[in-house]
Amino acid sequence: MPLAAAERALLDERRPLTRDEALAVARLPLDDLPALIALAHRVRLAWCGPEVELESLINAKSGACAEDCAFCSQSAHFDTGVEVYPFLDLDEVLAAARATRDAGATQFCIVVAVRGPSERLLDKVIKAVTAVRDETGLEVACSLGLLEPAQAARLAAAGVRRYNHNLEAPRAVFGSICTTHSYDDRVATAHLAIDAGMELCCGGILGLGETLEQRVDFAFELAALEPCEVPVNLFDPRPGTPLADTPVLSPREALQAIALFRLVLPGAWIRLAGGREKILGELQSMGLYAGANALIIGNYLTTLGRSPEEDVALLESLGMPVAGGGPGEGRFVVAADGTHALPAKPVRKLIPLDAS
Binding ligand SF4 (rule: CB under 6 A), the pick from 56, 59, 74, 189 is 74
Report how far residue 198's alpha carbon sits from residue 192's, in angstroms, rounded to the nearest whole number. 9
| Residue 234 binds ligand SF4 (CB under 6 A) | no
- Binding footprint of ligand SF4, residue count (CB under 6 A): 9
Could you tell me the smallest distance in angstroms from the CB atom of residue 227 to ligand SF4?
A: 18
Report how far residue 314's alpha carbon sits from residue 180's, in angstroms, rounded to the nearest whole number. 40
Nearer to ligand SF4, 66 or 99 (CB): 66
Report how far residue 356's alpha carbon sits from residue 104's, in angstroms, rounded to the nearest whole number. 39
Nearer to ligand SF4, 65 or 295 (CB): 65
For the window 111-150, what string marks contact with ligand SF4 as x by the rule CB under 6 A? Answer: --x-x-----------------------------x-----
Task: State the first-to-last Cα distance of the chain, in angstroms, to the nearest integer.
Answer: 52
| Residue 67 binds ligand SF4 (CB under 6 A) | yes
| Residue 59 binds ligand SF4 (CB under 6 A) | no
Binding ligand SF4 (rule: CB under 6 A), the pick from 10, 37, 43, 69 is 69
Q: Which helix (H) or strand (E) holds 138?
A: none
| Residue 110 binds ligand SF4 (CB under 6 A) | no
Nearer to ligand SF4, 144 or 320 (CB): 144
HSE-CB at 127 with a 13 A cutoff on CA atoms is 13
Other CB atoms closer than 10 Å to residue 350's CB: what's the count?
15
Could you tell me the smallest distance in angstroms from the CB atom of residue 50 to ligand SF4?
A: 33
Could you tell me the smallest distance in angstroms from the CB atom of residue 201 to ligand SF4?
A: 14
Report how far residue 215's alpha carbon sits from residue 282's, in angstroms, rounded to the nearest whole number. 23
Strand 53-61 to strand 294-296: parallel, antiparallel, or no bridges (unpaired)? Answer: parallel
Nearer to ligand SF4, 101 or 115 (CB): 115
Report how far residue 332's alpha carbon sits from residue 129's, in angstroms, rounded to the nearest whole number. 24
Binding ligand SF4 (rule: CB under 6 A), the pick from 33, 72, 208, 223 is 72
* Helix, coil or strand: residue 148: coil
> Where on the phi/psi map is residue 109: left (φ > 0), alpha (ψ -120 to 50), or beta?
beta
Binding ligand SF4 (rule: CB under 6 A), the pick from 10, 41, 43, 75 is 75
| Structural contact between residues 3 and 25, judged by C-beta atoms closer than 8 angstroms | yes
Binding site for ligand SF4 (CB under 6 A): 65, 67, 69, 72, 74-75, 113, 115, 145
